[in-house]
Structure 1
Amino acid sequence: MRRSPTVPLAATVIAATLLAGCSSSSTPTPQGASPTFSKPPITVGFLNPSGGPVPQPGTDTGVKAALSYINGELGGINGHPLEVVPCDTDTTPERAQSCANTFVEKKVVAVMDGYNLSSSAALPALTAAQIPLVGMIPFDSVTGAKAENRVFFAAPQASFLIGALQAFKAEGKKSVTLALVDTPSSHQTIDNLLPVLAKTLGISAKGIYFSATSPNFTAVASSIVQDNPDVGGLVASPSEAVCSALVKALRQLQYQGEIFTAACTDYIKSSPAQAAGGALYSSTWLPAAAKYAPADAQAELTLAQKYISAVNGGTAGYYAYGEFALFVTFAKALAAAGDADLTGPGVLKTLKALKDFPSFLGPKITCGSATSPNCTTQMLLFVVQPDGTAKPTTGTWITPVPQVLAVIPGAV
């Protein structure tokens, strides 16, 4: 679907306002309010990772689309408009700290994490101000190792690695070589997490790094091909361009193993022939998997696609759908709580109390874990088909083996 949605005028005004300034790097001001609402706004911060050397393009598209839907079609959150204070990040701890200070100044009731690699740097200021951090996958493994003052609606990094490695082993694969952008949080994954998982699962796993500022994917592909693993690819991808470059380089070097592209999806459209047979993971159902999804997920994909497609100049992809799902799950959780306390501590209490709650595009979540910020350990693993669709390897959600998760700090 590539048509504009039919939404109330208020939602159209909201979207236009957001397009004018959501990704500005100047001192942010609240966005998304409408004069048609009689109740005071609920204001949240947004750590926007659309800039810097390791951007996650599409997150701001998802936010704009979600606000149009929430404040338009849903009528806000129990009559309260949802406002967003955006703050651009650049993967550095210093910038995350600066954004956190801005959010404290603006008195937001929660901060939404846009798959940031340095979100842990924002936690001290937010925790001191009793402002919870809310996200999908905690890309910063330090953030994902504890539960204090944070809630993440999708599985932690360990779940995706474990689920993928479980599936590869079930297919008879015995070795993997996976690359990751060279950042401090990446070393937590490659140096500490991957070896433990490999040993516990009984599979040979090697991690390699590539530069955030001047990556050489021919060299990365050569390293993978030299190892000749059964599976080669990415632990996580900083952008769709990285996936496209690595897949192209591996195909040019005639790599015969299974290519794992983390959460990338756009490269499938640009080159379905090269993508076919590759694997990717997700915390939500994706448009490419719509024909394999259950009816409720198909309906949610149609809705999300309608609003995301309406964002002029927006980037539609994994992160757009993920951020849309984050905001909608957040809004519906607060709405379901009725007259919940809308302060930071109250929002945290409401989210932590979620039990068997149907997340948007995701599984049912229970968020009361005392040892991790995650509300679920479930994930999806897809194999790209010759027609460009993505088929779940198991038909539904994969639950990583609890005994394996138990050996990972913060994973359960």
Structure 2
Amino acid sequence: MSAFPTGRLALIAMATGLAASLTACASDDSGPSAGADDKAPTTIDATLAKSVSGATGNGKATGAPITVGLINQQGGPVSNPEFSVAAKAAADYLNAELGGVGGHPIEFSTCDIVSAESQGQKCGQQMLADDDVKLVVQGGLNVGTQSLHATLDGKKPDLVAVANPGPDVSAKNTYALNASSLAGKASTPIFLATKLQAKTVAMIADDNPGNQEIAKSIKQGIEARGLTVKLTTYPSGSADLMSPMQAVGAGRTDVIMPIAVTPTACVAMAKAYEQAAIKVPLVSSGLCASGAVRKALGDLPKWIFSGSLLNTNAPDPSGHVGLYKAVMNKYAGKGAELGINAPAGFAAIMAAAKVLAAAGADTPTVEKVSAAARAYTGPLLMGPPSLRFGVNPQFPTLGAQAARYYRYEGGGKWTDASGGWINLPS
């Protein structure tokens, strides 16, 4: 029997995938204190950190630096600064306490994409021109992916921390650690059918091209499962979402799935949900479980939150979330955002360190690092327990399309809505 009411309206707000989440995009409106976590653990599990990073040392890294290219989208209408902050915190921790990568401290060659597709080409050219960069780590990009991958053209390995539909899932020498919305495409239909027993689904998405691509990708996955889906579009930036919710037929469907990819959109969706007096489950990406949303509403909405990484607010017996929070608490600074794309940025640097260690940190070459990236199977911090690249001919860069679903009961209480990971690679 389903753990959720059947024959009633279920509102599912899919903001991507992540974890954080099922999306790659988030806005810079979280605020400096949005992610503050006064209960964050202070003891860092160095044993677990070594298992996910491949580190073998202790203390400060004193060797010659090893340079990682870091590409992120920030500074524009869609901005993910928390990704870069978390990536730096992970590197600072490895460099200060675990000897970096084989004794070599990690440094970054950074390039930000603000809002133009051509900026992806600029970042790709920067990475190719820097001979010290043997590995690129790419954040979630709402724009610039086409030109970035066309420029890199497989010449250097690219670890994609948050993948979007498009070249992220097909580019040469590219390895997507976090399937983001494509985890939702594969896992959400299973969740809807087996847990919510839905037959009809209504989706709401703004007219941002990247979000439309995410919505259509998830829609195709749900329809392939035999469910009927209706997609309604509204102007990006709208603060009042009552009209699109009514237009999509909120009272005449089993499930509603808004694509809410910024805290502002999550808050607007929550207000419309409350105003419409809908009293049934709502499932959202972990992006909507951010401090900014909690601050704006007074508490997180009582939804079911999905993501392709572990929910950093929910109980985690694996210790992964505790490690992440303890390091962020020490190295990211007080009040750093712990949600949105921060977990993906942190996990990606841990994975990058493990790839570089496997390639041989003393004499890394592009060829050796590429081979190590291709062979990487995890464990990915806060991610699926195992990854396998190249096994899905449709999405060859994806290591997994698995997701988790958590239900927020209010008052800080969480329950596991999916009973673990859904759709792990076999």
**Superposition TM-score, scaled by structure 1 size:** 0.78
Structure 1 residue aligned with 2:160: 135
Secondary structure of the equivalent of 1:59? helix
Secondary structure of the equivalent of 1:365? coil
The correspondence for 2:286, drawn from 252, 259, 263, is 263
Distance 1:347 1:75 in 2: 19
Say which structure, 1 or 2, has more relative contact order (CA 8 Å, 6+ apart). 2
- How much identity, in percent, do the aligned residues show? 21
Note if 1:176 corresponds to 2:201: yes
Residue 54 (structure 1) shift = 1.9
Which one is further off, 166-175 or 254-263?
254-263
Question: Residues 246, 358 of structure 1: CA spacing in aligned structure 2 closer, same or farther, 3 A cutoff?
Answer: same
Distance 2:252 2:118 in 1: 39
Structure 1 residue aligned with 2:277: 254
Q: Is the 8 A contact 2:162 2:178 kept in 1?
A: yes
Which one is further off, 374-383 or 155-164?
155-164
Distance 2:222 2:106 in 1: 43
Q: Is the 8 A contact 2:403 2:422 kept in 1?
A: yes
Distance 1:344 1:284 in 2: 28
Amino acid at match of 1:283: S
Question: Residues 211, 113 of structure 1: CA spacing in aligned structure 2 closer, same or farther, 3 A cutoff?
Answer: farther
Note if 1:365 corresponds to 2:391: no
- The 5 A counterparts of 1:34-49 are 37-49=61-73
Structure 1 residue aligned with 2:364: 342
Note if 1:67 corresponds to 2:91: yes
Note if 1:381 corresponds to 2:382: no
Question: Residues 88, 244 of structure 1: CA spacing in aligned structure 2 closer, same or farther, 3 A cutoff?
Answer: same
The correspondence for 1:244, drawn from 239, 246, 267, is 267
Amino acid at match of 2:127: F
Residue 133 (structure 1) shift = 1.9
Secondary structure of the equivalent of 1:364? coil
Structure 2 residue aligned with 1:324: 346
Residue 374 (structure 1) shift = 1.2
The correspondence for 2:333, drawn from 300, 311, 319, is 311
Secondary structure of the equivalent of 1:111? strand
Amino acid at match of 1:71: N
Amino acid at match of 2:417: T
Residue 195 (structure 1) shift = 4.5
Residue 319 (structure 1) shift = 1.0
For residues 236-256 of structure 1, give each alpha carbon's deviation from its aligned partner in whole angstroms, at most 9, with x where no partner exists: x43222211211122112234
Unaligned runs of 5+ in 1: 8-35, 403-412
Note if 1:151 corresponds to 2:175: yes
Note if 1:197 corresponds to 2:221: yes
Secondary structure of the equivalent of 1:48? strand
Amino acid at match of 2:150: P
Task: Please provide the CA RMSD for this pair.
Answer: 3.0
Note if 1:165 corresponds to 2:189: yes
Note if 1:120 corresponds to 2:146: yes
Residue 399 (structure 1) shift = 0.9
Q: Is the 8 A contact 1:56 1:239 kept in 2?
A: no
Q: Is the 8 A contact 2:71 2:123 kept in 1?
A: yes
Distance 2:189 2:201 in 1: 8
The structure whose residues are more often helix, as a share, is: 1
Distance 1:315 1:375 in 2: 26
Distance 1:76 1:375 in 2: 25
Q: Is the 8 A contact 2:66 2:361 kept in 1?
A: no
- The 5 A counterparts of 1:93-112 are 93-107=117-131, 108-112=133-137
Q: Alignment length, in residue pairs?
A: 365
Question: Residues 187, 287 of structure 1: CA spacing in aligned structure 2 closer, same or farther, 3 A cutoff?
Answer: closer
Which one is further off, 68-77 or 249-258?
249-258
Distance 1:313 1:298 in 2: 17
Question: Residues 368, 400 of structure 1: CA spacing in aligned structure 2 closer, same or farther, 3 A cutoff?
Answer: closer
Distance 1:343 1:297 in 2: 30
Residue 398 (structure 1) shift = 0.9
Amino acid at match of 1:48: N
Distance 2:198 2:374 in 1: 38
Structure 2 residue aligned with 1:354: 376
Unaligned runs of 5+ in 2: 1-36, 45-59
Distance 2:160 2:41 in 1: 27
Residue 216 (structure 1) shift = 4.9
Amino acid at match of 2:128: V
Residue 95 (structure 1) shift = 1.7
Which one is further off, 73-82 or 98-107?
98-107
- The 5 A counterparts of 1:213-252 are 216-224=240-248, 226=250, 228-235=252-259, 237-252=260-275
Q: Is the 8 A contact 1:50 1:88 kept in 2?
A: yes
Q: Is the 8 A contact 1:269 1:388 kept in 2?
A: no
**Superposition TM-score, scaled by structure 2 size:** 0.76
Residue 285 (structure 1) shift = 1.7
